[in-house]
A and B are shown apart, each in its own frame.
Chain A
Amino acid sequence: MTSTEKRIGNAASFVDERLGAARWVKKSLNKVFPDHWSFMLGEVCMYSFIILLLSGTFLTFWFDPSQRDVIYEGVYEPLKGLKMSAAYASTLDISFEVRGGLLMRQIHHWAANIFMAAIVAHLLRVFFTGAFRKPREFNWILGILLLTLGLVEGLLGYSLPDDLLSGTGLRITSAIIQAIPVVGTYISFFLFGGAFPGVGFIPRIFTLHILIIPGIFLAVITIHVMLVWYQKHTQFPGVGRTENNVVGHPILPVYMAKAGGFFFVVFGIIAFISAVASINPIWLYGPYTPGQISAGSQPDWYMGWLDGLVRMAPPLETHAFGHTISWNILIPAVIVPGIIFTGMALYPFIESWITGDKREHHLLDRPRNVPNRTALGVMSITFVMISLINGGNDILATNFDLSINQIMWFSRIGIFILPPLSFIITKRLCLSLQRADRELLLHGAETGRLLRLPHGEFVEVHAPISPEKAYLLQSHEQLVALEIEDVDGRGVRRPGALKNKLQRRLSKAHAVSVPKVTEQELKEIENH
């Protein structure tokens, strides 16, 4: 035994005698993580969160979260002598007088954008592959919670510098809060410490942004990752992979080296982008004053789709009994997002109700094999994309010389027509892909080699596919519609006829798929 081994052994023994950790650690180090590029998306989320914590901590050392008026005396000439809040002045100082400060600000902002993008990509991966199914519904809900928290945290974060753009964002936020019936005005006054913009919001959102919400984030992310650990990761179907096993590389050393290395890669890429690409140059916007605004005011992209919905809302207000209800704000900014996020959180249960499937699932679906779900996902993406386009309608209009009114009308009509249309098209595409799979399994792969038969006919030669590929193409389950009778065995009408009808309809639509290849069919082909 070398002396190093001996020292490590002694240390390990010291810990184990007190915690009995050897058994658990041994098991953990042999834990398997399946490999697939899309499983890295969740890692990107976690790593960019760590980067946000590190860069954010750096920024707090110089940032002064206060709305106190100061006269700017820093090095940035165009703003010298101007009255501004201490928050804005200290952000200027971080950008111009702290070495590496601008870099850290840009790392923080870029990491936030990448964090949100990775969350969305991760969510789509989990959705399209059915990874949210039993037993992982809790983790899906935690994920939706993290997405929602991310939206709020991002909004608060870019509001902190108190520049003209961020102040405009807060103005809109306060208008949304004011629009809430009965209590809205009071909530707005309490949050802002008076009539907008009040005197207290910078220190308040600072506390929320750097303490409360990151704390909740840390807790939820920890549970999220621990559940992945405890429930073991899902895997894509393939030879050797079943619902009862998990195949991949063990934590020590391969996964640890790859995942640890990947953290540095993500951090390195974010640092590179932040070194060369400017983001949120607040010194160009000037300090916030409610009487001014810059044309082309845009929120960050993850809020842009909500702003797009607000822009396309019809001009509807109700005035009655001395009260006002702003439907033009409530519908796009409160009601529709409420429905979307609640619907997302409940989706695993909705799907399981439709399919009647209450089993555990650890093998992932190929998106084409569940056409209805895939189509629903694409439909949602289409909805958000149209909203996002409309959120940038002024930028699009000026850059591409378009009419802003036409973009608005395109969005207003398109938001109702294009999502259902994309649903239908996606479902068709999925069924076509299923048919192509079936074709491939029955007749082999096209080789592009033409053969002329003795009687003059041309045929293309098909090559048999590998057993692994053949296995993959036949490994999914055939979707079956639920059979729900309106009357029970004794001819008595069952309660909830309408609910049954709905469930039967949805189940039938969900089960639309191309029949799988049977043994019989394969045999017939072989006999030809």
Chain B
Amino acid sequence: MSNELTPTDNSTPPQHAPRATDVNPVSEKRAEQQIAILFALSGIGSLLLIYSYIYVADDVFIFIPIMGDQNAQQLGIGLGMAMSLFFIGIAAIHWAKTLMPDKEIVNHRHEFRSSDEDRAELVQTVKEGVAGVALGRRKLIKRSLGAALGLFALPPVLLLRDLGPLPGKQLEQTNWKTGTRLLTDPGNRPILASDLEVGAVVQVLPAVDHPEERPLSDIAKDPVLLIRLRPEDFQLTPEKFAMTHEGIIAFSKICSHMGCAVALYEQQTKHLLCPCHQSTFDVTRGAKVIFGPAARPLPQLDITVDSEGYLVARAPFNEAVGPSFWERNSQ
């Protein structure tokens, strides 16, 4: 410390210059009036709130630049509330800054560490307490206590068991079976291959007994996108090509990354884009991932037509749709 500067006198805080309100009675009076005005503004805000709540109809709109049309009632209640709160606060702060004492004071700090005697006494007290319990000597109690506490931990966990069913095969299965018709969503109408022109995209769901009553957990895995291209546009393996029908290809709409609906189709590039994390799938190459974090192509549904010419699934999905999970068996 020898070559460091010794601080200038560091024992007392520097004296503040007196404020105008401390020396000038006129300023003091003025500050008092300002504070009163601020409190009055707060009162006006409260009145505005009450007025808007009772007298302004809820279907009146006011145009505000940038913000657009605003509901007059909500706006009046909101602005009234803002005023009534804000000006109470400003008045109190103005009061504190102009009229309340300006003098800073000093408190002293003490080291938090307890004295050595206190620490020693604590150790002694704890030792005596532990000695009284004498778990070290009473092996039988120690072991049975351990066993009881261990078992006691199980019931709370077990009691939560009925929060939900076990997963079973639910994530691997969808409502697509061999011969299931493809229904439009919305509308629930079956589709003829000829309904789709080249370039068309349609969302479909499997035909089930009560299509209007589908549970959301089915809608979370069943949606399929139908896209019709010219057959020569595809660059698919023969097996994958056999799963298409006259240029119509069907993919699960549920993203193989995190399960969002892959809803953006770019007509020109024939890319499907997931709006959540921008995974991009090339439709012509069997929904191969060409960008983004998804690690697997969208599962392809094998489709054909039934005796009446309606599009049906030839087979269920041959892999689980949607995001990955530990039990998923991917080849």
Verify if A262 is at the interface (C-beta below 8 Å from B): yes
- In the complex, A192 Cα to B170 Cα: how many Å? 14
Verify if B144 is at the interface (C-beta below 8 Å from A): no
Given contacts A262-B93, A293-B260, A313-B293, contact A246 B107 (CB under 8 A): yes
Verify if A103 is at the interface (C-beta below 8 Å from B): yes
- In the complex, A519 Cα to B294 Cα: how many Å? 64
Residue of A268, A276, A296 near B85 (CB, 8 A) is A268
Least CB separation from A321: chain B residue: B329
Verify if A250 is at the interface (C-beta below 8 Å from B): yes
Residue of A183, A189, A241, A271 near B13 (CB, 8 A) is A241
Q: What chain A residues lie within 8 Å of B166 (beta carbons)?
A: 186, 189
Binding stretch for chain B, among A196-204, A364-372, A422-430: A196-204
Q: Which of B121-168 contact A (CB under 8 A)?
A: 160, 163-167
- Closest Cβ–Cβ distance, residue B234 to chain A (whole Å): 23
Residue of B6, B112, B258, B331 near A172 (CB, 8 A) is B258
Given contacts A174-B259, A244-B109, contact A291 B93 (CB under 8 A): no
Given contacts A289-B216, A291-B261, contact A315 B289 (CB under 8 A): yes
Whether the pair A240, B53 counts as a contact (CB closer than 8 A) is: no
Q: What chain A residues lie within 8 Å of B87 (beta carbons)?
A: 268
Whether the pair B92, A296 counts as a contact (CB closer than 8 A) is: no
- In the complex, A394 Cα to B280 Cα: how many Å? 13
Least CB separation from B112: chain A residue: A135
Least CB separation from B96: chain A residue: A257
Residue of A171, A241, A247, A323 near B259 (CB, 8 A) is A171
Residue of A31, A197, A200 near B220 (CB, 8 A) is A197
Number of interface residues of A (CB under 8 A): 120
Residue of A232, A262, A408, A475 near B278 (CB, 8 A) is A408
Sorting the interface of chain B by its residue count into under 10, 10 to 19, 20 to 34 or 35 or more gives 35 or more
Given contacts A291-B185, A291-B253, A520-B3, contact A196 B220 (CB under 8 A): yes
Residue of B5, B6, B88, B97 near A517 (CB, 8 A) is B5
Verify if B86 is at the interface (C-beta below 8 Å from A): yes
Whether the pair A186, B167 counts as a contact (CB closer than 8 A) is: yes
Whether the pair B112, A249 counts as a contact (CB closer than 8 A) is: no
Whether the pair A189, B165 counts as a contact (CB closer than 8 A) is: yes
Binding stretch for chain A, among B18-26, B69-77, B193-201, B241-249: B69-77
Whether the pair A311, B277 counts as a contact (CB closer than 8 A) is: yes
Whether the pair A258, B93 counts as a contact (CB closer than 8 A) is: yes
Binding stretch for chain A, among B98-106, B175-183, B299-307: B98-106
Q: What chain A residues lie within 8 Å of B291 (beta carbons)?
A: 405, 408
Binding stretch for chain B, among A210-218, A325-333, A376-384: A325-333
Given contacts A271-B78, A315-B293, contact A323 B323 (CB under 8 A): no
Verify if A280 is at the interface (C-beta below 8 Å from B): no
Given contacts A185-B327, A240-B13, contact A471 B223 (CB under 8 A): no
- In the complex, A181 Cα to B295 Cα: how many Å? 17
Q: Which of A156-192 contact B (CB under 8 A)?
A: 168, 171-172, 174-176, 178-186, 188-192
Whether the pair B109, A254 counts as a contact (CB closer than 8 A) is: no
Whether the pair A261, B93 counts as a contact (CB closer than 8 A) is: yes
- Closest Cβ–Cβ distance, residue B310 to chain A (whole Å): 21
Q: What chain A residues lie within 8 Å of B11 (beta carbons)?
A: 240
Kindly supply a per-residue 1/0 record for chain A positions 224-243, scoring 1 wherever the CB is within 8 Å of any chain B CB and 0 otherwise.
00000001100000011111
Verify if B264 is at the interface (C-beta below 8 Å from A): yes
Residue of A260, A264, A518 near B5 (CB, 8 A) is A518
Q: Which 4 A-B pairs have the closest CB atoms?
A: A275-B78, A268-B86, A261-B92, A264-B89
User: Which A residues are closer than 8 A to B by beta carbons?
Assistant: 30-32, 96-97, 99-100, 102-103, 106, 135, 168, 171-172, 174-176, 178-186, 188-198, 200, 231-232, 239-250, 253-254, 257-258, 260-269, 271-272, 274-278, 288-297, 307, 310-317, 319, 322-326, 328-329, 360, 362, 393-394, 404-405, 408, 467-468, 470-471, 474-475, 478, 516-520, 522
Apart from A178-B326, A262-B93, A519-B3, list 4 A-B contacts with CB within 8 A. Answer: A171-B220, A186-B166, A278-B67, A474-B4
User: Which B residues are closer than 8 A to A by beta carbons?
Assistant: 3-14, 53, 58, 64, 67, 70-71, 73-75, 77-79, 81-93, 95-97, 100-101, 104-109, 111-112, 160, 163-167, 170-171, 185, 203, 205, 216-217, 219-223, 253-254, 257-261, 263-264, 275-279, 289, 291-296, 322-331
15 pairs of residues in contact across A and B, judged by CB atoms under 8 Å: A103-B77, A185-B327, A190-B160, A197-B217, A246-B108, A253-B96, A257-B95, A268-B89, A271-B82, A272-B79, A272-B86, A291-B203, A314-B293, A317-B330, A324-B329
